[in-house]
Amino acid sequence: MNTLFLYNTLSRSKEEFKPIKPGEVGLYTCGPTVYNYAHIGNLRTYIFEDILRRVLVYNGYRVKHVMNITDVGHLTGDRDMGEDKMEKGAQREGKTAWDIAEYYTRAFRQDIAHLNIIEPDIWVKATDTIDEQIALVKTLEEKGYTYQTGDGIYFDTSKFKNYTKLSHQNLEALQEGARVEKNPEKRNATDFALWKFSPPDTKRQMEWDSPWGVGFPGWHLECSAMSMKFLNDQLDIHCGGTDHIDVHHTNEIAQSEAATGKAFFNFWMHGAFLIISGGKKMAKSEENFLTLENALLKQGFSPLAYRFAAFLTHYRKPMEFSDEGIEAARNGLLHLQNQVRQIATAAVDESDVTANTEFKNKFLQAVNDDLNMPRAMAVVQEMLKSTIADSEKYATVLDYDRVLGLNLDQLDKAQPLPQEVQELLEARKKAREAKDFATSDRLRDEIEALGYMVQDAKEGMKVIKK
């Protein structure tokens, strides 16, 4: 097996990836908070995670992928202050929190289908694991990590050694900085809620009984409970966007390792943000965000153009979104599709040809170098422009497409040549065989008038849509 290197936020370095169980990988990716549409920034992170999953499979691993749906407990402020995003979304739209969750979960699944992102093997809603989350809080309570305040049960971060091992932050500076947003009852500014009580004067739509009183789980708890439930002894890779490093993932690690006494995930990987050109951050809470619908579909861009665009910036670098950028990506994708259409015609009768070993290895080396997609895309072009036979190019590009996920195997089926063009092409072939070049040229003009371009290559005639 070729060595796969992945950048681990824990060590701040690229490390050789080795799963806990040989041949199998447990992958956990933090999922959406379903109180609004996903924006294209969120979707960039899901594309990065999809590439990771596909690269693992390309390397021969079996992957068990779990993703949560946050349908309760994520508050508008960091560090357990503010309103519940779901209940707030429900008020905004005059629906129940449950309806909001269902509606935006469906929208999210549509978005990822548009982007050809493979669905996780297991989806879990936070509200479907309340029992497991309560059990985790009980364990932490028994082990002496919790304390109660007027509004909930909190995790005492001072009792967990190495609280900043993921964020690499200076704890003292952090305590000082975090003091600004105050909950005077917290023992340390970094402490976080495991269970929040329902406010005494309001009836929440989503609330449950617990040993400590009616309430709802703290946001970080679901990911710990779910990953331990579904991945148990395969806690290999945990991912999310870089915004999750300092609080969400740091707290997941603290509460999970405090509860089990064991390492919680060996690899932590984080995707950098999408920014709107000019440097503005996109966030769901600021109502300025672009969805797949308004940024792409309504402008006539295929969602796959966005997927293609995401390949051109390494996942650990900020990616800028602009109209020119997406247009360039669209053209790049169209160009690639045309290149593949041409070789597909030549490869029709040679379906037993396999990927070219040298170019497959080059591609593998690029993706195995911490998912270096810009380099992988350069290898795709190098291969397509090389002198290997078209049938071999076609087999190789389809092999690459297991990682790229651009549906390159469906181009011909999606756009078959019209009957009329096919007939003209046949007639032109005969004319050329008979060396009747005048007829051949006339037929070429007729084909071009129908919107197709004919190229005479060594291996035969090629037709491309103009």
By the criterion CB under 6 A, which residues form the site for ligand AMP?
A: 30, 32-33, 41-42, 44-45, 240-241, 243-244, 271, 273-274, 282-284
- C-alpha torsion angle, residues 391, 397, 400, 404 (rounded to 10): -150
Percent helix, strand, coil in the chain (nearest 5)?
A: 50, 15, 35
Could you say which of Zn ion, ligand AMP, none residue 223 binds, taking C-beta under 5 to 8 angstroms by partner kind? Zn ion
In the numeric block, the tokens 């500014």 are attached to 189
**31: Cβ–Cβ under 8 A, 6 or more apart, which residues?**
67, 68, 69, 70, 123
Burial class of residue 296 in the structure, from the number of CB atoms within 10 Å of its CB (0-12 exposed, 13-18 middle, 19+ buried): buried
Comparison of 88 and 244: residue with beta carbon closer to ligand AMP: 244
Kindly list the residues in this chain that would bind Zn ion in the complex (CB under 5 A).
Answer: 30, 223
- What burial letters (b/e) apply to 164-177, b meaning 16+ CB within 10 Å? ebbbebebeebeee
* DSSP reduced 3-state for 122: strand
Could you say which of Zn ion, ligand AMP, none residue 32 binds, taking C-beta under 5 to 8 angstroms by partner kind? ligand AMP
d(CA 233, CA 20): 8
Give min distance, CB of 166 to ligand AMP, in A: 14
Separation of CA 313 from chain center: 14
Could you say which of Zn ion, ligand AMP, none residue 114 binds, taking C-beta under 5 to 8 angstroms by partner kind? none
Give min distance, CB of 280 to ligand AMP, in A: 10
Comparison of 44 and 330: residue with beta carbon closer to ligand AMP: 44
Give min distance, CB of 59 to Zn ion, in A: 25
Could you say which of ligand AMP, Zn ion, none residue 45 binds, taking C-beta under 5 to 8 angstroms by partner kind? ligand AMP
Comparison of 26 and 32: residue with beta carbon closer to ligand AMP: 32
Give min distance, CB of 7 to ligand AMP, in A: 16
Comparison of 100 and 274: residue with beta carbon closer to ligand AMP: 274
Give min distance, CB of 427 to ligand AMP, in A: 53
Give min distance, CB of 5 to Zn ion, in A: 24
Comparison of 289 and 394: residue with beta carbon closer to ligand AMP: 289
Q: At what angle do helices 250-260 and 219-230 cross, to 10 degrees?
A: 50
Comparison of 31 and 215: residue with beta carbon closer to ligand AMP: 31
| C-beta of residue 205 within 8 angstroms of C-beta of residue 190 | no
